[in-house]
Structure 1
Amino acid sequence: MVDAVTANAQPQTQTTAAKDTKSLAANYETFLSLLTAQIRNQDPLSPMDTTEWTNQLVQYSSVEQQLKGNAYLEKIAAAAGAAGNSMDAAVNYIGKTVSAATATATFANGQAAWDYGLEGDAAAVNLTVVDKNGTVVWTGTSDQTGKGSHTVAWDGETASGNKVTSGDYTLKVKATNAAGDVAASVSITGIANAAEVRDGAVVLKVGGTYVPLSLISKVS
């Protein structure tokens, strides 16, 4: 069993492209300074030729666009490399039981489930489920009030007796005793059955819930 998951940092080296970009940036700054000085110090009685001025503006724009293009390409390359490394790590989790430090679970196939941990014994544990807009859809209590880890399953029935639609729902836990509030944490646990890239980040499908790889806290 692995209780903590830490991504291995990959060493980075400066590429030839990065060096070329720095050189180009330096030349660009020099070019801009010279052009500004030329305009400021031109002879009012013999101003710069319009054609020459236009040519220099074209050069200015070309260098600026090249710098922006190089920076954009570097970001794409870095993101692709990071995603590739993370995907390799994510694949190793498939088929294993994992825990993720998130209070949001996907309601599907008639159920959503969470784990909650209490740092001390509680006299009362109140549960609240909210939808993606933060609207309360269900409230209840749990008789699992002892210190440690507990599980709660929700069948999707709202306070009015209706059933919610499939989607993501968040559990909030408030535990109290005679001394006041008892610290509580919420997570989800399930079998990782798929990995994919969503919005540029690698996510694992845990049961029916997609969670970022960075939130995985336990693997068994």
Structure 2
Amino acid sequence: MDPVTSTAASAQISSGRTGLVSNFETFLQLLTAQVENQDPLSPLDSNDFTAQLTQMAGVEQQLLTNDLLTSLLAQGEGGLGSAAGYLGQEITASWGATRFEDGAADWNYELGADAHVVTLEVVNGAGNTVWSGPAPQKGAGIHSFSWDGTTNAGGKVAEGGTYTLRVTAKTAGGQDIEAQPLITGRVTGVEMYEGEPYLVVGGSVLPLTSVFALSMAQNDDDAETGSQTQTQTQTQSNAS
């Protein structure tokens, strides 16, 4: 038995729809010709006419059903279906927007080379910079940054707002260095927006297309077991 793939199913639905459309148009032509050429003294029985209209409505409903099935298959293959495989995985994405929750907003940022000056900006949903300052680290690679919600004006932002990190890096001579904000974490959900799949990672909802690294998430129990094993090994080594 050959497996049924979404591509094959879509092809079958498309082929079936073509046949239904052809039959539907032929049916309309025959029904119209029948009404136009019926004997005025012996018109078509109303029950027969109603039955034919019911059949026509059934064909039309089948066409709509096929269109819906095609749409669902397309969504499953290119949307939720492909994104569902990311659930529970650790990802890294080129994305700078996240929510301010539990008193912090956390990002990573990547520098393409050692920098002389690295400036970080936290921007609110209106596009205004609410905080800016020097980055904690300026070497090439990936670094973490946590913002406690304090603004340059000395205030504190409210919980739940979405903020975006901007990174600017320059050499001692003032030349630009490639830099970008990153979101790293475990995928806990998948959502659809305007037909595109988005992943839920911590306080961020980011497009699937922004992901450039994926790794198998370590189970918390496994991590704890590994830590205990390492501790026991160190204890035994020290006792020896």
Q: Give the TM-score range, shorter chain.
A: 0.5 to 0.7
* Structure 1 unaligned blocks of 5 or more: 1-9, 39-54
Q: Residue deviations 1:181-206, cap 9 Å, x none? A: 1111210223x262243446655442
Aligned to 2:86: 90
Tell which has more relative contact order, 1 or 2 (C-alpha 8 A, sep 6+). 1
Question: Which residue among 180, 184, 188 is the counterpart of 1:185?
Answer: 180
Q: Residue deviations 1:47-103, cap 9 Å, x none? A: xxxxxxxx9xx999987775455323320243245524532x13342xxx4322211
Count of residues paired in the alignment? 195
**What is the letter of the counterpart of residue 20 of structure 1?**
G
Q: Residue deviations 1:150-189, cap 9 Å, x none? A: 2211111111111112222110111112151111121022
Report 1:63-74 matches (<5 A). 67-74=63-70
Residues 1:129 and 2:140 are matched in the alignment: no
Aligned to 1:41: none
Assess, with a 3 A threshold, how the Cα gap between structure 1 residues 162 and 80 changes in structure 2: closer, same or farther. same
SS, match of residue 102 in structure 2: coil
Report 1:45-194 matches (<5 A). 67-80=63-76, 82-84=79-81, 86-87=83-84, 89-93=85-89, 97-165=90-158, 166-177=160-171, 178=173, 180-190=175-185, 192=186, 194=188
Query: Is contact 2:136-2:145 (8 Å) kept?
Result: no
Assess, with a 3 A threshold, how the Cα gap between structure 1 residues 174 and 26 changes in structure 2: closer, same or farther. farther
Question: Which residue among 187, 205, 210 is the counterpart of 1:210?
Answer: 205
Distance 2:166 2:67 in 1: 42
Question: Which residue among 185, 191, 195 is the counterpart of 1:197?
Answer: 191
Q: Which has the higher helix share?
A: 2
Distance 1:70 1:198 in 2: 22
User: Which has the larger Rg?
Assistant: 2
Distance 1:68 1:144 in 2: 58
Assess, with a 3 A threshold, how the Cα gap between structure 1 residues 70 and 145 changes in structure 2: closer, same or farther. same
SS, match of residue 13 in structure 1: helix
* Structure 2 unaligned blocks of 5 or more: 34-49, 216-240
- TM-score, normalised to structure 2's length? 0.62
**What is the letter of the counterpart of residue 173 of structure 1?**
V
Assess, with a 3 A threshold, how the Cα gap between structure 1 residues 102 and 193 changes in structure 2: closer, same or farther. closer
Distance 2:188 2:133 in 1: 32
Q: Identity of paired residues, percent?
A: 35
